[in-house]
């Protein structure tokens, strides 16, 4: 039996959300006709009822479950999905990310790579302004308070075509105290003292995997975390976390 349209407003952001204005701009800027196809394997990978109903809900109401099912479907990784399909879905995908949900159950890292989203030449100047703003604001938010591993977020943007050096520069611009807290969360939390380790996702592709590990084990990051741990005005709890991060960097070299 084919289910009717599913239009629940799940995984959405409302006025007052820190990324609401960017998401609203994305819907306006990428507004486009519904494409002729899902751009993925047809009559095979997707749930048949979802595939039949996929383009019926308005794009702002496209259910999270539909998007997640779409990501489970195969596509040609050499060609990517058609641009008309990607442009249509992109604002909704960005909104789901902004809402703190995972558009793809297989991993956040691959969410933006079905089309080379991070290549400015693929977009008009207005489209790129929206994407660039989203990338910077989303990464900054994830450093501050994200629940996804930071490395996964960096990898997501890298696989989508964003420049890794620029991404790491954005991470480096984070205040020492904030960065120490974030790295401790990813590398040390829940582990016995001395058992922390640098987290890197298995989704990295060369040379990104080597470059990001060099960043995590760099003398510059080590010195910053050590200074944070030893500063007289660092709260004791944060000093202990920064010290644990220092130990992880030292042990990983």
Neighbours of 168 (CB within 10 A): 19
- Predicted local confidence at residue 147, as pLDDT: 83
Q: Are 153 and 201 in contact (CB under 8 A)?
A: no
Report the percent of the chain where pLDDT is more than 90.
Answer: 90
At residue 110, the pLDDT reads 97
pLDDT surpassing 60 at residue 48? yes
Predicted confidence (pLDDT) at residue 38 exceeds the cutoff of 60? yes
Q: What is the pLDDT of residues 188-240, one digit of tens each?
A: 998 888 889 999 999 999 999 999 999 999 999 999 999 999 999 999 999 99
The single residue listed with the structure tokens 């120490």 is 180
- pLDDT tier at 56, thresholds 50, 70, 90: very high
Q: Of 94, 190, 196, 107, give the one whose Cα is nearest residue 141.
A: 94
The Cα diameter of the chain in Å comes to 67
- Give the residue from 123, 95, 112, 77 showing the smallest Cα distance to 18: 95
Q: How many CB atoms within 10 Å of residue 67?
A: 22
CA atoms within 13 A on the CB side of 27: 15
State mean pLDDT over 76-94: 95
Q: Give Cα separations from 53 to 12, 71, 89, 200, 241 (angstroms).
A: 20, 16, 15, 37, 49
As a whole number of angstroms, the distance between CA 103 and CA 52 comes to 19
pLDDT tops 80 at residue 52: yes
Average confidence (pLDDT) over 93-120: 96
């Amino acid at each position: 039996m084919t289910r009717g349209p599913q239009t629940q407003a799940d995984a959405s952001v409302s006025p007052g959300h820190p990324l609401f204005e960017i998401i609203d701009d994305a819907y306006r800027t990428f507004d486009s006709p519904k494409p002729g196809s899902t751009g993925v394997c047809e009559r095979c990978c997707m749930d048949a009822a979802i595939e039949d109903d996929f383009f019926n809900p308005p794009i702002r109401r496209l259910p999270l479950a539909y998007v997640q099912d779409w990501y489970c479907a195969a596509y040609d990784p050499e060609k990517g999905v058609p641009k008309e399909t990607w442009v249509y879905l992109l604002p909704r995908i960005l909104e789901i990310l902004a809402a703190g949900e995972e558009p793809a159950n297989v991993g956040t890292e691959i969410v933006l790579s079905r089309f080379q989203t991070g290549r400015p030449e693929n977009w008009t100047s207005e489209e790129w302004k929206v994407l660039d703003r989203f990338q910077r604001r989303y990464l900054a938010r994830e450093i501050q308070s994200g629940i996804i591993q930071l490395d996964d977020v960096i990898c997501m943007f890298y696989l989508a075509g964003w420049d890794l050096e620029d991404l790491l520069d954005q991470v480096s611009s984070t205040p020492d105290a904030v960065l120490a807290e974030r790295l401790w969360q990813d590398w040390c939390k829940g582990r016995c003292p001395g058992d922390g380790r640098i987290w890197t996702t298995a989704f990295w592709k060369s040379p990104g995997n080597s470059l990001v590990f060099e960043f995590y084990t760099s003398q510059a990051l080590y010195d910053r975390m050590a200074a944070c741990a030893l500063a007289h005005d660092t709260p004791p709890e944060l000093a202990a976390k920064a010290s644990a991060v220092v130990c992880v960097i030292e042990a990983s070299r």
